Amino acid sequence: IVALDFPDGARARDFVAGLQPGSCRLKVGKELFTREGPALVRWLTEQGFEVFLDLKFHDIPNTVARACEAAAALGVWMVNVHASGGSKMMVAAREALDQVGGRRPLLIAVTVLTSMGSEDLRELGLEVEAQEQVSRLAALAKTSGLDGVVCSPREAGVLRAQMGPNFRLVTPGVRPKGASRDDQARVLTPGDAVRSGSDYLVIGRPITQAADPVAALAAVNADIEAAIGR
């Protein structure tokens, strides 16, 4: 999943024009969506791309359910919510998507933002280690009927063991061998992330900022295919 972290739609469209829908999916996050709105998401789906709408909804159950419906109406492939919105919110989102005709988007939870450690949780009144909170929220997402969680590739092994084989693990923090880490503190290569149990890798700058993005994407796909033994 290539993260389209561009400051405006023109640059995002230029970049996407060089890609084939069969070679990747695309992630639209809060910055690009807030600038360009649903029109850009519609355009991407019309180009044949599967889109992960990464807006991390977190609100009262009814509002999140209606927002998920709106995302489904845009034709996105995956949408996400904050697990800390609670099981009522997640169940409402899931039920709203179940009412959608046709293929419903995958519904994924964010557990603890990877920018937050145990100190940050304490500040919020949560006397718990970050990893324990990740596991707790992932389990809550699963019992609420969600399809999976976003997690660090370093957490993927533990979560795969805890959540079983059918729970989707979506992991940012992936860097091809030799690529700059940018601001990602703990990274795995694409192959190692897949071997740790990740189902979908979210990769931005190593592809979007590459001199040759198509070649960078092809190298990532080759690493993934080697890891899954294709």
Cβ–Cβ under 8 Å, residues 137 and 130:
no
Binding mask 108-147 for ligand C5P (x = CB under 6 A): -----xx---------------------------------
Handedness of CA 216, 148, 162, 58 (dihedral sign): positive
CB of 203 to ligand C5P, least distance (A): 5
Task: Please tell me the distance from the alpha carbon of residue 68 to that of residue 49, in angstroms, as a whole number.
Answer: 19
What residues numbered 147-176 form the site for ligand C5P, per CB under 6 A? 150, 172-173
Cβ–Cβ under 8 Å, residues 158 and 142:
no
Task: Please tell me the distance from the alpha carbon of residue 182 to that of residue 5, in angstroms, as a whole number.
Answer: 14
CB of 150 to ligand C5P, least distance (A): 6
The catalytically annotated residue of 27, 30, 56, 88 is: 56
| Minimal CB distance residue for ligand C5P | 204
DSSP state string for 187-228:
-B-HHHHHHTT-SEE-B-HHHHTSSSHHHHHHHHHHHHHHHT
Pick the piece of the chain touching ligand C5P (CB under 6 A) from 97-105, 141-149, 199-207, 219-227: 199-207
Nearest to 19 by CA among 225, 170, 210, 194: 210
Q: CB-wise, 2 or 90, nearer to ligand C5P?
A: 2
Which of 8, 120, 129, 182 lies at the binding interface for ligand C5P (CB under 6 A)? 182
Which of 191, 204, 213, 223 lies at the binding interface for ligand C5P (CB under 6 A)? 204
Does residue 106 interact with ligand C5P by CB under 6 A? Answer: no
CB of 103 to ligand C5P, least distance (A): 24
Active site residue 27: no
- Within 10 Å of residue 127's Cβ, how many Cβ atoms? 8
Task: Please tell me the distance from the alpha carbon of residue 224 to that of residue 213, in angstroms, as a whole number.
Answer: 16
Which of 184, 192, 195, 227 lies at the binding interface for ligand C5P (CB under 6 A)? 184
Cβ–Cβ under 8 Å, residues 174 and 188:
yes
Contacting residues toward ligand C5P, per CB under 6 A: 3, 5, 29, 113-114, 150, 172-173, 182, 184, 202-206
Residues catalogued as catalytic? 56
